[in-house]
Amino acid sequence: MSANFFLVLYPFVSLINMAAYLPQIKKLLQTNSLDGVSLSAWMSWLFGSVVTLGYGIYYLNDFLFLATQALNAIMVFTIISIIFYKQFQISKTSVRV
C-alpha cells in the first residue's frame, strides 16, 4: 500500500469515527435511562484521548492527527457531560416523593 493511500483515507476515517458518537449522544438525549452506559469507561476513554492529544502536541508535528484527537476528546467529553446531566436529572426526580 502506498503512503498516499493512508494520507487520503485518514481524514475520511476520522470523520466516520466522529459520526459514530452521534447515535450514543442521540440515545442519551432522548431517554432518561442510563442503563448500559458506563461512566467509568467513558472517563477512561477521555483520559486516553487527552494523553494521546498531549503526546501529539509535544512530540508530533501533525495537524490532522491533533485535530482528530481534539475532536475525539470533545465528543467523549460531550457524552460524559450528558451522562452527568442525566444522572443529576434522575437523582433530582427520584428525591421527589
Residue-wise pLDDT tens digits, 32-86: 889 999 999 999 999 999 999 999 999 998 999 999 999 999 999 999 999 999 9
Please answer whether residues 53 and 44 qualify as being in contact, where contact means their C-beta atoms are separated by less than 8 angstroms: no
* Cell numbers describing residue 14: 476520522
Domain count, the chain: 1
- Residue 51 maps to which CATH number? 1.20.1280.290
| Integer Cα distance of 45 and 25 in angstroms | 15
* Cell numbers describing residue 18: 466522529
Entry pTM: 0.86
**Lookup result for grid cell 475520511:** 12
Give the residue ranges of DSSP H helices in the chain: 3-20, 22-30, 39-59, 63-95
Owning domain of residue 18: 3-95
